[in-house]
A and B are shown apart, each in its own frame.
Chain A
């Protein structure tokens, strides 16, 4: 995996956010303020533009550029959270031109750590952490037990989607949905949903390279 992997990951995210925009808006309208899809589209559109303008960067620097772009264009909570996640992930790779499975785990683990640190959220709070943490854990476990990167990522994306669905019965304890108290129960978390989309986009980007 290399810079092209990151570029196609960001393009995949941009494409899927456009398709899922209204669905994310709908989910957010139920327990938030209905702008999540709009914000994610605005952010990743800007990320793709930024990457196109600076396509010679190594993968780590591309992630940092993507994160910085999200922070400066999205606003809301998802801007700083995904922005910091990608920047932290990018720092793991430094200036190297390519990376393998174990380092991808380190990238995603760093991203998860920064989300949890900045958002002070844990699994079960009905946030993006409910999708991201199982994805990272699954990716690590599968690779350690000898799976290929493609298979491990597929399982990680499945785990993120399971985590996304696991938010439905939860009562939100972080973010805007927490203001609803018990009324947040029964709704799928929009942040966990876009996170599952982002992990699935990574799986597609990596698998397409083979």
Chain B
């Protein structure tokens, strides 16, 4: 089938096959780390299940690469369940992944707080429990742009997801039990806050159209990771001014203790180059220090994206010695690798 439109500047064979073909490509690139089960549409860590190790699973719509498939490997996820672009996976995927990685010590589901993800993971966890597998679920909801109240679906899960997968993955790798690994995911979520901005929307392959139009000179503040508009639109200022808004939003909500050690994660949304992300990190580092916290660890790059959206998000995680130790622990996945 020919691609029907050339308005999309995308490398595709057929729009409907983009997720499956990308997953097959990821597996072809990293056979030492993971395998792709095409029938179940899941990515599974090589050598899984590991007897006695708590397993970690995450999943969600595709279009956020490298999240989650790029984080399957040593010291992070045991499996990832990718849905269609921006659409949560179905319960059958999570159930298949849970069964594929359960080494007898239980399985933790890391779920980003979107109605679809929460509902589908809930159904999967019930099915897994019926089959006698111990499953815990932690919902990540770190986005301060959304007010957490009875009048919203709650805060979205964004950047803290990456940090939770890395940190809890390290806990599991070093032999922590199901309760400990679950609590570690929760602890990261409780101590992390995020805020994102966008300079463009993005084009989902299936519709071929940008989700919204952002006129030149404007910025969307408080975006999520699905190419959607943010909480409000404003004139685009300098990077310095934009970072002021972002850091203020994150810090005023996180309320870190004075002198806290933090991890600062400057994330690109997919269409913003590292040149600009490092510029942003420089501003973030200064402003966090001015706000009385010390960025002792950082992550800069595009790790939880929204297709080709131009934009960035900041996640600040208040650290303690144990979280630092888990962050520094070896990791070997397609997208994150150190210490090995």
Contacts and interface: CB of A to CB of B under 8 A. Distances in A.
Contact of B115 (A72, A73, A77): A77
A76 interface: yes
Interface stretch (A7-15, A160-168, A169-177): A169-177
A77 B209 contact: no
Nearest to B206: A38
Interface stretch (B79-87, B160-168, B170-178): B79-87
Chain A interface, >50% SS class: helix
A75 B153 contact: no
A79 B120 contact: yes
Interface residues of B, number: 39
A34 B116 contact: no
A74 interface: yes
Nearest to A78: B116
B92 interface: yes
Interface string A73-115: 1111111110000000000000000000000000000000000
B147 A181 contact: yes
A76 B228 contact: no
A179 B119 contact: no
Nearest to B223: A179
Contacts of B61: 75-76
B123 interface: yes
A71 B95 CA distance: 13
Interface in B138-167: 145-147, 150-153, 156
Given A29-B212, A38-B207, A75-B88, A179 B83 contact: no
B268 interface: no
Contact of B231 (A71, A173, A176, A180): A180
A194 interface: no
Contacts of A176: 114-115, 153, 226, 228
A71 B90 contact: yes
B229 interface: yes
A181 B206 CA distance: 27
A76 B153 CA distance: 14
Contact of B119 (A30, A118, A181, A183): A118
B231 A75 contact: no
Interface in A57-81: 71-81
Contacts of A30: 212
Contacts of B231: 179-181, 183
Contact of A35 (B86, B114, B119): B86
Interface string B202-223: 0010110101100000000000
Nearest to B210: A29
A105 to B, nearest CB: 26
Contact of A178 (B85, B91, B153, B204): B153
A34 B90 contact: no
B152 A35 contact: no
19 contacts: A33-B204, A34-B209, A34-B211, A35-B84, A35-B207, A38-B84, A38-B207, A42-B84, A71-B90, A72-B90, A74-B87, A75-B61, A75-B90, A75-B120, A80-B119, A80-B122, A176-B228, A179-B156, A180-B229
Interface of A: 25, 29-35, 38-39, 42, 71-81, 118-119, 171, 173-176, 178-181, 183
Closest 3 CB pairs of A and B: A80-B119, A33-B226, A76-B116
